[in-house]
Amino acid sequence: MNNLLDPAILFFLFGAFAGLVKSNLEIPAPISRFLSLYLLMALGLKGGFALAASGFTLEVVRSLGAAVTLAVLVPLLGYLVLRRWLSGLDAAAVAATYGSVSAVTFITAVQTMDHQGLPYGGHMAAAMALMESPAIVLAVVMANTLRQRAAGGLALGGGTAALTAPGSAAVGLPLGKVLHESFTDGAQLLLLGAMVVGFVTGDTGQAAMQPFTGDLFKGMLAFFLLDMGLLAARNLPKVKGQSPWLVAYGVVGPLVHAGLALGLAWAAGIAAGDAALLMVLAASASYIAVPAVLRHAIPEANPSLYFGLSLGVTFPLNILFGIPLYIGVAHAVLG
Question: Is pLDDT at 245 greater than 50 in this prediction?
Answer: yes
Question: Is pLDDT at 315 greater than 70 in this prediction?
Answer: yes
136 and 73 in contact (C-beta within 8 Å)?
A: no
What pLDDT is recorded for position 156? 38
Three-state SS for 144?
helix
| C-alpha angle 153-82-333 in degrees, rounded to nearest 5 | 145
Three-state SS for 185?
coil
| C-alpha angle 291-3-73 in degrees, rounded to nearest 5 | 40
Question: Is pLDDT at 67 greater than 80 in this prediction?
Answer: yes
Mean pLDDT for the stretch of residues 203-225: 90
Q: How confident is the model at residue 289 (pLDDT cuts 50, 70, 90)?
A: confident
92 and 142 in contact (C-beta within 8 Å)?
A: yes
What pLDDT is recorded for position 258? 97
Rounded Cα–Cα distance for residues 114 and 120 (Å): 9
pLDDT digit string (tens) for 143-197? Answer: 888 887 777 654 434 443 334 433 334 455 565 666 666 666 677 788 888 989 9
What pLDDT is recorded for position 99? 94
- In the chain, how long is the greatest CA-to-CA distance? 63
What pLDDT is recorded for position 56? 79
Residue ranges per structural domain of the chain = 30-157+168-334
pLDDT digit string (tens) for 77-118? Answer: 999 999 998 988 999 999 999 999 998 999 999 999 998 999
Least confident of 175-189, 200-214, 231-245: 175-189
Mean pLDDT for the stretch of residues 241-268: 93
pLDDT digit string (tens) for 115-147? Answer: 899 999 988 988 988 888 888 888 888 888 888
What percent of the chain has pLDDT above 90? 46
78 and 226 in contact (C-beta within 8 Å)?
A: no
Q: Yes or no: is domain 30-157+168-334 CATH 1.20.1530.20?
A: yes
What pLDDT is recorded for position 162? 37
Question: Is pLDDT at 255 greater than 80 in this prediction?
Answer: yes
What pLDDT is recorded for position 291? 79
The residues, ordered by sequence, that sit 6+ positions from 92 with a Cβ below 8 Å of its Cβ are 79, 139, 142, 143, 146, 298, 301
Q: How confident is the model at residue 273 (pLDDT cuts 50, 70, 90)?
A: very high
The residues, ordered by sequence, that sit 6+ positions from 333 with a Cβ below 8 Å of its Cβ are 262, 266, 272
DSSP at 169: P
